[in-house]
């Protein structure tokens, strides 16, 4: 059995500072600003979340904080945000290693809701910020597609229900085939279900995002799958 921390989002009316896990707002950098840039456009990616790398899942690593970003352009469609190697998403770990292009900017695009505004016939972006309450939950260890294919429907349903939801740590519940970043021994950092969050993230049709961190806690990767 493993454990995960399921996420309860708590709206914050003022900026959240310090080394705290949060969604939206502006990143609180451990070292210097290291904002990742879209490979296609060269523009700053959208900041989604920062996650503190603490025990019991990440205490053995060097990194203190992981920052999740994804390209989100208003005027053009940028393909490949689902791909861990596309250059259109990023997990920045500080201190850590990131091979993509970055800029030392402190304020950039961030998480938002789509809301109605008076006297407008279209939705508009409204920036949001959320603190979190984390709820410890026991869950089964990850089982491969090959193993799951031998299960009865009831066993598979129980496994799926145990792994679903927004959480830090634990085992990923992939919507499609098993898909870890290249290499081995990646730990799940974050599972984010776009249909169960109080903000907008584009993970395709009812998609789920998966952020991973390497065993040393120095490198992160992100990908998403959709139905």
**pLDDT exceeds cutoff 80 at 61:** no
Q: Average pLDDT in the 161-170 region?
A: 97
Q: Average pLDDT in the 14-29 region?
A: 96
Report pLDDT digits (tens) over 200-209. Answer: 999 999 999 9
Identify the band that residue 157 occupies on the pLDDT scale cut at 50, 70 and 90.
Answer: very high
Q: What is the rounded average pLDDT for all residues in the chain? A: 94
pLDDT for the residue 59? 67
CA-wise closest residue to 168 among 4, 57, 47, 21: 4
Can you give the pTM of this predicted structure? 0.94
**pLDDT exceeds cutoff 80 at 197:** yes
pLDDT for the residue 159? 96
Between 2.30.320.10, 3.40.50.300, 3.40.309.10, 2.60.40.150, what CATH number should domain 2-225 receive? Answer: 2.30.320.10
Identify the band that residue 169 occupies on the pLDDT scale cut at 50, 70 and 90.
Answer: very high
pLDDT for the residue 115? 86
Report pLDDT digits (tens) over 98-152. Answer: 999 999 999 999 999 988 888 777 888 889 999 999 999 999 999 999 999 999 9
């Amino acid at each position: 059995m493993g454990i995960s921390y399921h996420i309860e989002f708590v709206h914050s009316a003022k900026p959240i500072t310090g080394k705290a896990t949060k969604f939206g707002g502006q990143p609180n950098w451990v070292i210097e600003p290291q904002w990742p840039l879209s490979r296609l456009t060269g523009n700053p990616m959208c900041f989604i979340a920062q996650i503190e790398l603490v025990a019991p899942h990440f205490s053995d690593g060097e990194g203190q904080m992981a920052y999740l970003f994804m390209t989100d352009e208003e005027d053009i469609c940028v393909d490949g945000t689902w791909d861990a190697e596309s250059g259109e998403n990023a997990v920045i770990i500080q201190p850590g290693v990131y091979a993509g292009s970055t800029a030392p900017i402190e304020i950039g695009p961030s998480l938002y809701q789509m809301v109605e505004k008076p006297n407008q016939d279209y939705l508009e972006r409204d920036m949001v910020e959320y603190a979190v309450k984390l709820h410890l939950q026991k869950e089964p260890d990850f089982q491969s597609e090959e193993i799951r294919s031998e299960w009865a429907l009831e066993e598979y349903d129980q496994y799926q229900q145990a792994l679903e939801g927004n959480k830090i740590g634990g085992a990923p519940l992939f919507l499609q085939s098993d898909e870890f970043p290249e290499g081995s021994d990646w730990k799940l950092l974050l599972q984010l279900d776009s249909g169960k969050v109080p903000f907008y993230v584009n993970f395709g049709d009812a998609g789920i995002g998966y952020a991973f961190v390497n065993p040393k806690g120095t490198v992160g990767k992100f990908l998403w799958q959709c139905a």
